[in-house]
Structure 1
Amino acid sequence: MATKAPYSSSAKTSWFNKSEFIPPDAIFALTAKFQADSSPQKVNLGQGTYRDADAKPWVLPSVNLAREALLTRGLQHEYLPILGLQSFREGTAKIVLGSELFDKRATQIATCQSLSGTGALHLAGLLLRATQNKQPTVYIPEPTWSNHHQVFKSLGFPCESFKYYDYETKSLDIDSYYNMLKQAEPNSVVILHACAHNPTGCDPTKEQWREIAQVMKARELFPLFDAAYLGFNSGDYDEDAFPIRLFMGEMDMEAGVCISFAKNMGLYGERVGCFLLGTKDEQGAVNLQSMLEMLQRSEVSNPPGFGAKIASEVLGNDSLKEQWFQDMETMSSRIRAMRAALYDNLIASGAPGSWDHLIQQSGMFGFLGLSLDVVLRLRDEYHIYMADNSRISIAGLNTGNVEYVARSITECLRDSE
């Protein structure tokens, strides 16, 4: 009779033999390189975080006041409900939709606090996957924020890129956009940057948004807004929220909105976000809210409280909200001034080519249109850090470095001619 071979630990294969090395996220890896650089001239134009005129992080006055109010009343650290802080969710819905549209559609809205905009996108994906008979195709603009593909591919969605930006004209390719919408399979999902398109800074006009909405409604396409820069883009929250209110109000469409308060309140590390879903009827909102609660429970159990309480304090206090509006105008104005200063300095230094596209863009990011060779030389020789596709964070510019950045770009472009 054969005897069983003794167990050998060396013969056991790992559960993780199929694991593979994933390169670090490009922007966070770029930030790490910047931090390791000892040059006194180094400039960080990579990560999309606001910096003041002294290149320092800025805590918004409205946020400081809200924090002081919370601490004065006494801060406790009990669990939030699974769906998050009720006052924060309601305040978010009111400001995103505006008072008139919120009052009209309040019973048709489902909301769930999320881990910033990324968490809202993931919740949206989980909900869409759970409610559709067939997993829909997700159409994503090219270029876009890299996490759009990662989030939806990780959930098993088929993702299709469509041409959003014309690299030759350095502008929005609206004809390509319309063609995609007209050819997309009905019941597909389209990712829409509500404003301040990342990375190009090119947004549709109001007339183009109306055409996009009309085609999407006729083609039965689901709009999923990534709204990370409301109020931060133009300094006017109502102006930046126009596309969302157009789709859900004037066009009476169902839509999802993934909201972040990282940029417009400076709450980067607090991960304060919200997923808002506009539905056709009250029962649909009740059902979908219950599903969001279940999905949230399985993901994070319940969301963090401190940042949401700060945001709720700002949104729920007229004086603080007015201060917040001023804070957003302060940030957006400085970014606009630095965008103009970079343009002026590029022209003054004789940078080859046209730079009109830079001042036609808006928001935190500028899409320069530089070759990878130029980007790498700027990084290696001039200690100027930007994304490989030459997307820069305009907030990283200030009066102390903008001339140096422009002059360095000019020198690299002249040498490459």
Structure 2
Amino acid sequence: MTSTNPNPSSRFESAPYIPPDRIFELTAQYLSDPASPKVNLGQGTYCDSNGQPWILPAVAAARDRLAATGLNHEYLPILGHPVFRTLAPRLALGSALHATLSSQIATCQALSGTGSLHLAGVLLRYLQSQTSPTSPLPKVYIPTPTWSNHHQIFTSLGFEVATLPYYSATTRSLALEPYLATLAAAEPNSVVILHACAHNPSGCDPSLAEWRQIAQTVKDRHLFPLFDAAYLGFNSGDLDQDAAAIRLFAGEEFGLEIGVCMSFAKNMGLYGERTGCFFLTTHQETTARNTESVLEVLQRREVSNPPAYGAKIAALILGDEGLTEIWKEDLRTMSGRIREMRERLVEGLVQFGAPGDWEHLVRQTGMFGFLGLDEEVVKELREEDHIYMADNSRVSIAGLNPGNVEYVAKAIAERLRKRNA
């Protein structure tokens, strides 16, 4: 009779424990917290003025149309929804530039922003293996601070990540001089990650004049600009304004080949549908066609083909003039509410005597902002006041509403006054 070992060894014994993603862990802590009031300023999802998830009217209308036309659940092509793949790059580039470059664009639908960035990295790694298999991968310059997934995506693919100074905690603004100096010293053919607008987490974006300086440096050093475009239209309420940097780099003035990683999670509220698009502009039509064929193979290997529902909604909105106008109004609603909450928060901080200057919160744009609080203060706010935010005091302004903004401002002011007493 064969004896059974009650504690057999496992082939997975070498798996280390990796702590949960901090932002998602914060949301879980918030949800399990029985306290009232409580406020979630961690996760970046838009909520309405009552603190509830908001289905955009344009999305609701598109969803109704899909249901009325007999929505099915068949596979999309490997590269994704054909109409969506045409209209998403047109949105980012604008109609005129898109018409000029259309034959030189390679496009693939992807799994929102994360999937788009990952696909871009896989493509860059593949091309390196074809041209210089014994050479190291190009460095990827990532701004500091930045969205945490940027580092995780590219390091997991074997890229060396280099730090690109971006935000000055002293001036609470863009650190342009060290940023440009680092780019000017970068090795040619390196990749630079650029937030198209609504920089996450600082909320500080370059002006158009500063973007020109950045573009010139990128061109002079032969760097590859890879835009993370998760907030087009959501940032300012104006799609053209939010896409200006993308169009500047790819347009006639600089004529750069660029990569753009688009997400429709924020600007259409399609968070769970994972609707995204990666496209790049090239200098030759043949290059675009060949690169797109590579993207198709890489997509097949990883996900076979992308999810359909969100892409169908986005394609309807982008392709119908009436739905597009409704969506533009939705964007103005979201961006306007966030600007109002920034102003209300600053007013409250001043009213309740919070020491310091808080005008940087109004200068910042987009969903996120830096409060500039010590980690101990953040911990006290979480444990004593049940206000949840990232340890570095990055806050999602979308988590504020007329019912909680005064409570948040007062709690922050009280914590800071006690420390200064």
TM interval, shorter chain, is over 0.9
Deviation at 1:170, TM superposition (A): 1.1
Q: Which residue of 1 aligns with 2:174?
A: 172
Q: Which residue of 2 aligns with 1:392?
A: 395
Q: Which residue of 2 aligns with 1:209?
A: 211
Question: 2 CA distance for matches of 1:112 and 1:259?
Answer: 11
Q: Which residue of 2 aligns with 1:230?
A: 232
SS at match of 2:73: coil
SS at match of 2:357: coil
Residue 328 of structure 1 pairs with residue 331 of structure 2: yes
Identity of aligned residues (%): 60
Q: Output aligned runs, 1:250-261, within 5 Å.
A: 250-261=253-264
Whichever residue aligns with residue 188 of structure 2, its letter is: P
Whichever residue aligns with residue 154 of structure 2, its letter is: F
Question: 2 CA distance for matches of 1:200 and 1:311?
Answer: 28
Deviations 1:193-240 (A, max 9, x none): 000000000011100000000010010000000000000000000000
Deviations 1:272-301 (A, max 9, x none): 000011111101101100000000000000
SS at match of 2:235: coil
Deviation at 1:16, TM superposition (A): 2.4
Q: Output aligned runs, 1:303-342, within 5 Å.
A: 303-342=306-345
Whichever residue aligns with residue 183 of structure 1, its letter is: A
Q: Which residue among 25, 28, 45 is the counterpart of 2:24?
A: 28
Cα gap change, 1:7/1:223 in structure 2, threshold over 3 Å: closer, same or farther? farther
Q: Which residue of 1 aligns with 2:267?
A: 264
Q: Which residue of 2 aligns with 1:353?
A: 356
Q: Which residue of 2 aligns with 1:48?
A: 44
Cα gap change, 1:242/1:7 in structure 2, threshold over 3 Å: closer, same or farther? farther
Deviation at 1:8, TM superposition (A): 8.6
SS at match of 1:214: helix
Whichever residue aligns with residue 62 of structure 2, its letter is: A
Whichever residue aligns with residue 282 of structure 2, its letter is: T
Q: Which residue of 2 aligns with 1:58?
A: 54
Deviation at 1:9, TM superposition (A): 6.3
Whichever residue aligns with residue 399 of structure 1, its letter is: P
Q: Which residue among 67, 70, 74 is the counterpart of 1:78?
A: 74
Q: What count of residue pairs does the alignment treat as equivalent?
A: 412
Q: Which residue among 148, 151, 155 is the counterpart of 1:146?
A: 148
| Structure 2 residue runs without a partner (length 5+) | none
Whichever residue aligns with residue 139 of structure 1, its letter is: Y
Question: 2 CA distance for matches of 1:83 and 1:10?
Answer: 49
Whichever residue aligns with residue 62 of structure 1, its letter is: A
Question: 1 CA distance for matches of 2:160 and 2:270?
Answer: 32
| Structure 1 residue runs without a partner (length 5+) | 1-5
Deviations 1:105-134 (A, max 9, x none): 000000000000000000000000011224
Q: Which residue of 1 aligns with 2:33?
A: 37
Deviation at 1:7, TM superposition (A): 11
Whichever residue aligns with residue 294 of structure 2, its letter is: M
Deviation at 1:14, TM superposition (A): 3.2
Deviations 1:120-167 (A, max 9, x none): 000000000011224100000010000000000000000011211111
Deviation at 1:348, TM superposition (A): 1.1
Question: 2 CA distance for matches of 1:309 and 1:177?
Answer: 39
Question: 2 CA distance for matches of 1:131 and 1:12?
Answer: 44
TM-score normalised by L of structure 1 = 0.97
Whichever residue aligns with residue 255 of structure 1, its letter is: I
Q: Which residue of 1 aligns with 2:199?
A: 197
CA contact (8 A) 2:353 2:417 kept: no
Q: Which residue of 2 aligns with 1:3?
A: none
Question: 2 CA distance for matches of 1:372 and 1:24?
Answer: 19
SS at match of 2:306: coil
Whichever residue aligns with residue 126 of structure 2, its letter is: A
Q: Which residue among 121, 126, 134 is the counterpart of 1:125?
A: 121
Q: Which residue among 404, 407, 411 is the counterpart of 1:408?
A: 411
CA contact (8 A) 2:196 2:242 kept: yes
Question: 1 CA distance for matches of 2:348 and 2:256?
Answer: 45
Deviation at 1:19, TM superposition (A): 1.3
Question: 2 CA distance for matches of 1:401 and 1:117?
Answer: 30
Deviation at 1:15, TM superposition (A): 2.4
The alignment's C-alpha RMSD in Å is 1.3
Runs of 4+ residues over 6 Å off in structure 1: 6-12
SS at match of 2:99: helix
Question: 2 CA distance for matches of 1:50 and 1:257?
Answer: 23
Question: 1 CA distance for matches of 2:235 and 2:115?
Answer: 21
SS at match of 1:196: coil
Question: 2 CA distance for matches of 1:9 and 1:108?
Answer: 62
Residue 163 of structure 1 pairs with residue 165 of structure 2: yes
Deviation at 1:18, TM superposition (A): 2.3
Whichever residue aligns with residue 189 of structure 2, its letter is: N
Question: 2 CA distance for matches of 1:391 and 1:170?
Answer: 13
Question: 1 CA distance for matches of 2:296 and 2:242?
Answer: 29
Question: 2 CA distance for matches of 1:76 and 1:342?
Answer: 45
Q: Which residue of 2 aligns with 1:245?
A: 247
Whichever residue aligns with residue 348 of structure 2, its letter is: N
Q: Which residue of 2 aligns with 1:88?
A: 84
Deviation at 1:17, TM superposition (A): 3.1
Deviation at 1:85, TM superposition (A): 0.2
Question: 2 CA distance for matches of 1:33 and 1:12?
Answer: 35
Whichever residue aligns with residue 347 of structure 2, its letter is: D
Deviations 1:311-355 (A, max 9, x none): 000001000001000000000000000000001111111110111
Question: 2 CA distance for matches of 1:99 and 1:30?
Answer: 41
